[in-house]
Amino acid sequence: MLPLVFIFLHVFSEDGYRLWLRYAPVENAVLLQKYQNQVKNIVLKADTPSLKAAKTELETALLKMLGIRPVFTETVEGRNNLVIELPDDFDVIKNNTGAQELQVIGNEGFILRQIKNENFIIVANSHVGLLYGVFRFLQILQQEQPLPELNVVDAPKTQVRILNHWDNLDRTVERGYAGFSLWDWFRLPDVIHPRYIDYARANASVGINGTAITNVNANAQILTPVYLEKVKALADAFRPYGLKVYLTARFSAPMELDNLPTADPHDKQVQDWWNRKVEEIYSYIPDFGGFLVKADSEGQPGPHNYNRTQAEGANMLADAVAPFGGIVMWRAFVYDQHMPEDRTKQAYNEFKPLDGKFRDNVIVQVKNGPLDFQPREPFHPLFGGMEKTNLMMEFQITQEYLGFSTHLVFLAPLYEECLQFDTHAKGKGSTVAKTIDGSLYGQKLTGMAGVSNIGTDRNWTGHPFGQANWYAFGRLAWNPYLGSREIANEWIKMTFTKNHDFVRPVKKMMLDSRETCVNYMTPLGLHHIMAAGHHHGPGPWVEGRRPDWTAIYYHRASADSIGFNRSSSGSNAIGQYHQPVAELFDNSKSCPEEFLLWFHRVPWDYRVKSGNTLWDEMAYRYNQGVNDVRTMQQTWNSLKDFVDNERFRYVESLLGIQEKEAVWWRNSCLLYFQTFSNMPIPDAIEQPDKTLEYYMGIRELYMPGHH
């Protein structure tokens, strides 16, 4: 049987659709035989949708990986059974798991363990937990790990692990660079594309358990019956995979849909409207997850319109969904162009005083940094700043400010850097991760959101390596303490090959790629100097009517200096951090150099740690970014023999774009900042071959993600 499978894999090209669920044939012959023995008999009663899904996944995966069709039974007999059951169903399980570990795994965790008689058990307290366990088991096989050594007791550390799709009802995707929205609203609810199921499978395979399917810049129409019927169809398709649906709630919906005179959260009519609307939603979707809300920001309506607080707005919605077990994810991304205050301080100023004022089923969703998904930001001071409020992390998976889907930038290091930052909120060791998993303050509701990079492109994420960011997000939402290296390792093996000669260089390329991007875009703490509107390509010269959307607001370059003084002598943004973090950031000498121009205004001839002037260092770093992209190209080109032709060529083409754009970034930023520094670009680096006027004249039209 096996040869068929192998031949199949070589005959047909890989288009990236299968993600990290490729289930490539096991190559190690010894392991292969052991695996085949281990899964010959599978004890699994597939009597619920989740267990049916688990069974189908096993059937598909084991045929492809091991070339066998296992026998599914309902009884344990003899040796070499794979037993997948709830704890009470079999003695073999009861005798091999303890009450305490069953408590540890909670409702979504699982135990994987080889026991005596060479039986292997997958145990969980719920059917979705069993499904998660099956996916983990298959991942172990995909990575060709020996089974006897396994003893996994794992459970997610956060509760709400959710993708945020900024998808509009016309199928455009705000900040989406992988085609258009997966949701085919026109054909819903009648047509359930197989892709919806594959989407749910991929999410379940990394433990993502929620999806907010509509844009935070919300459209009230999604709350009307004609759309709720469509949402229900998606929810029904996702349910077996433990994936709950959430919707974005437009705060002014009562006015727009039913002509109420107000959306004031204190207004009884408004409250009644939301109560009825929520009841209606749950009549379609009994396990509806709840609402995600962007209010009072960038033109979205919100409680400010009625002089109410963010807490009053959130609590009204929370009260409506509470009877049904729903939650409200309320975004902290609130800022106002009319506020004279440093934009990076505004969210903290707004939310800090509300600490303790939110309902138990509200969770405040905070972006990783205080600005807006830059290639590098310090952590958001609300992490560690809200003791009595449920807080969840919002990472951006889609690369709005990191080269869209044409740049290879592995984001796990960015996520990890943020999660491992020590807020010192309760003394040393108070990492950001601990502020969002409940371990620091004991919050009951925890979570992590990722702004999706998924679209209709055949490979889901536009860039084949964009899949790694979806994967990494899922893994970190499950366990915020995982390392980037481990995540990269898993992903590469499952997505490409287990061959060490491929894994090692690709892992290095991925792990370095974020710093490379920082270097060619925004080294030394520079931020928000992308082109206006679509945010693609350099725009350090961007001015405009709304200062907080310009580049010059952020870099403040002048003939003598550059950088935003957020120290105690400036906007005092550092004052929003606990000590000793505040002090560390406050002093330009102690401030980590990667945040230098974020927190400080520094003369061009300032000497950085390398001994270079700031100007020279900036030039070297920009150039280093370009060189590092070229190194990525060399690495990739040397690996042609390990990759199918289609994916090899696609990545090769994209790296070509990335190299051109890294040069574009370096040249235009150096030429532009040189008009202030008046210092020469060091001879040692490649000189710009075009003029500043040329670069400033580039206008990119019809950009994806910006409609």
Q: Are 147 and 136 within 8 A, CB to CB?
A: no
Q: First vs last Cα of the chain: how many Å apart? A: 51
Catalytic residue among 85, 154, 342, 400: 400
Q: Which of 2, 7, 71, 339 binds a copy of itself (CB under 8 A)?
A: 7
* Contact by Cβ (8 Å): 246, 281: no
Of 2, 71, 104, 191, which one interacts with a copy of itself (CB under 8 A)? 191
Question: Would you say 170 or 560 has its CB closer to a copy of itself?
Answer: 170
Q: Rounded distance, CA 172 to CA 455, Å?
A: 10
| d(C-alpha 62, C-alpha 70), whole Å | 8
Of the candidate residues 120, 251, 291, 404, the single one contacting a copy of itself (CB under 8 A): 404
Looking at 298, 501, 605, 686, which residue is catalytic?
298
Going residue by residue from 619 to 648, which x/- string records binding to a copy of itself, judged by CB under 8 A? ---------------------------x--
**Nearest-angstrom CA–CA distance, 162 and 677:** 45
Query: Among residues 195 and 304, whose Cβ is nearest to a copy of itself?
Result: 195
Which positions from 60 to 99 touch a copy of itself by CB under 8 A, shown as an x/- string? ---x------------------------------------
Assess 701 for contact with a copy of itself (CB under 8 A): yes
Binding-site member from 103, 143, 637, 653 for a copy of itself (CB under 8 A): 653
47 binds a copy of itself, rule: CB under 8 A: no
Residue of the chain from 221, 269, 420, 635 that contacts a copy of itself (CB under 8 A): 221
Q: What is the DSSP letter of 115?
A: -
Q: Which two tokens stand for residue 229?
A: 């019927």
Residue given tokens 């199921």 in the structure block: 197
Tell me the three state secondary structure of residue 330: strand
Residue 194 in the binding site for a copy of itself (CB under 8 A): yes
Angstrom distance (rounded) from CA 317 to CA 254: 12
294 HSE (CA, 13 A, CB side): 19
Is residue 392 a contact partner of residue 447, using CB atoms and an 8 Å limit?
A: yes
Q: Which of 8, 98, 258, 501 binds a copy of itself (CB under 8 A)?
A: 8
Active site residue 144: no
Nearest distance, CB of residue 278 and a copy of itself, angstroms: 22
Our finding on whether 236 is near a copy of itself (CB under 8 A) is no
Contact 313, 303 (CB under 8 A): yes
Q: Which of 372, 394, 457, 617 is catalytic?
A: 372
**Of residues 431-490, those binding a copy of itself (CB under 8 A):** 456, 458
- Minimum distance of a copy of itself from residue 628's CB (angstroms): 19
Alpha carbon distance 300, 416 (integer Å): 31
Dihedral of the alpha carbons of 53, 464, 668, 682, in degrees to the nearest 10: 120
Given a contact cutoff of 8 angstroms between Cβ atoms, the answer to whether 297 and 333 are in contact is yes
The single residue among 69, 79, 187, 607 that binds a copy of itself, judged by CB under 8 A, is 187
Decide if residue 170 touches a copy of itself (CB under 8 A).
yes
**Does residue 2 touch a copy of itself according to CB under 8 A?**
no
Residue 410 half-sphere exposure toward CB, CA atoms < 13 A: 25
User: Does 490 participate in catalysis according to the annotation?
Assistant: no
Cβ 93 to a copy of itself shortest distance, Å: 33
190 binds a copy of itself (CB under 8 A): yes
Secondary structure of 101-128 as H, E, C letters: HHHHCCCCCEEEEECHHHCEEEECCCHH
Spatial CA neighbour of 109 closest among 118, 117, 101, 119: 101
310, 406, 522, 561: residue in contact with a copy of itself (rule CB under 8 A): 406
* CA–CA dist 168, 222 (Å, integer): 10
Choose among 306, 323, 319, 329: nearest CA to 271: 319
Residues paired with 425 in a beta bridge: 427
Q: Compute the distance between CA of residue 179 and CA of residue 454 in angstroms, rounded to an integer.
A: 8
Q: Does 650 bind a copy of itself (CB under 8 A)?
A: yes
Residue of 656, 680, 686, 694 that binds a copy of itself (CB under 8 A): 656
Is 4 among the residues that bind a copy of itself (CB under 8 A)? yes
Side chain identity at residue 291, one-letter code: F
693 lines the binding site for a copy of itself (CB under 8 A):
no
Half-sphere exposure of 360 (CA within 13 A, CB side): 5
**Is 272 a known active-site residue?**
no
Q: Which is nearer to a copy of itself, 538 or 563 (CB)?
A: 538
Using CB under 8 A as the binding rule, whether residue 171 contacts a copy of itself is answered as: yes
Q: Which residues are catalytic?
A: 298, 372, 400
**Site residues, a copy of itself (CB under 8 A):** 3-4, 7-8, 11, 13, 15, 63, 168-171, 177, 179-180, 185-187, 190-192, 194-195, 221, 404, 406, 456, 458, 646, 650, 653-654, 656-657, 701-704, 707
